[in-house]
Amino acid sequence: MANSVSPNDFKRRSFVAKRLVEAGARFEEVAGAAAAMAFSDDGAEEKAALEGCGLADLSPLPRFGIKGRGGPEWLAGQGVAIPETVNTALRQEDGSLAARLSPSEILVLGDLRGGERCGALYTSWARARMDDPSAARGYALRRDDSHAWFRLTGANAPEVFAKLCAVDLRPHRFPALSVAQTSVARSSAIVIREDLAADVVGYHLLIDSASARYLWDCLIDAMAEFDGKAVGLRILRQQNAG
Amino acid sequence: MKIMTCPLNGPRNIQEFQCGGPVKAMPGAQDSDTAWADYVFLDENPRGFVREWWCHLPSSYWFIAERDTATDAILKTYPASELFAPEKTVGGSQ
């Protein structure tokens, strides 16, 4: 099946767009960029995402961060449910996720549909700063540019992490909605466990966008012994809906 | 692998950390160039107990670590807020 859109049709491209094209991804427009929706129709992706190990690129999806004195309080005022404990995350009603990285830093990952929440938060923050520059509301961090966003899912995902990361991310040691800020394949990374479907462990992985292609290759290599495959956003949306 | 305990993130490999040098009192604006040069460029490098700034790089979290330079043992790590008042950004209390 031919692609109806390609990453080059948009001003914003995923940091690993070249790798996705090479792997035969089929793209659709999500939030003003081409997102890899699927790689095949033979069911291998579903199997990988559930039983083996699937790696998805969520970099086209919106995300937003805020850091500094008053930042979390300002976000709470915008209707974001803020986790009380550092290094934990909270699922929001609209499907987005708020992770507390420090007492004064919050990361918001947008929902899988590419909704407007993160963009609206940034617009509100910028407008509030223009209206009253002196108020303490932290400073906004455009995480869409600074961080690539991958998702590793499937029964063998913890085993893959065990090869690349010193923190024990096995499900019984790293509960759902835990956050680890650590080193993955020697790159600084944020790992957030969020299971989209019951009994299927999954992790969001955010890393420096400049290292995205390096880490994508590392993960594909590490997954090979577990029959790991690149998977598309379509499978994750199905998991989330189920 | 040497392990350091980050007050925010817990035990981590020492490779995830960067030392930021000893905690010391910053000179005032009226102090001499010599005092400032001493503060910026020179460290005591003692044998034994030191109190230092360390950063956990993946989370960019700065904290205080107490070490013994003779044994290279990490004695204690704690948030900088335990050493400095929250609104106070300069000065030392060694």
- Chain B partners within 8 Å of A183 (Cβ): 12-13, 15-16, 57-58
**Does residue A180 lie in a domain region?**
yes
- Chain A partners within 8 Å of B15 (Cβ): 183, 186
* pLDDT grade for B93, boundaries at 50, 70 and 90: very low
Same domain, A137 and A236: no
CATH number of the domain enclosing A48: 3.30.1360.120
Inform me whether the C-beta atom of residue B56 falls under 8 Å from chain A C-beta atoms. Answer: yes
* pLDDT grade for A50, boundaries at 50, 70 and 90: confident
Q: What is the mean pLDDT of chain A?
A: 94
Q: Give the span between the Cα atoms of B2 and A142, in whole angstroms.
A: 34
* Alpha-helical segments (H) within chain A: 17-22, 44-50, 71-77, 117-131, 143-146, 157-164, 212-223, 233-241
DSSP state for residue B58 in the 8-state scheme: G
- Does domain B3-82 bear CATH number 3.30.390.50? no
Q: What is the pLDDT of residue A2?
A: 55
* pLDDT grade for B87, boundaries at 50, 70 and 90: low
| Residue B16 predicted with pLDDT over 80 | yes
Interface of A with B in 164-203 (CB under 8 A): 166-167, 180-183, 186, 188-190
| Residue B49 predicted with pLDDT over 50 | yes
What DSSP element (H or E) covers B40?
Answer: helix B33-41
Q: How far is CA A192 from the centre of its chain?
A: 8
Q: What is the pLDDT of residue B90?
A: 46
Same domain, A149 and A53: yes
Count of structural domains, chain A: 2
pTM of the model: 0.92
Inform me whether the C-beta atom of residue B16 falls under 8 Å from chain A C-beta atoms. Answer: yes
Same domain, A56 and A68: no
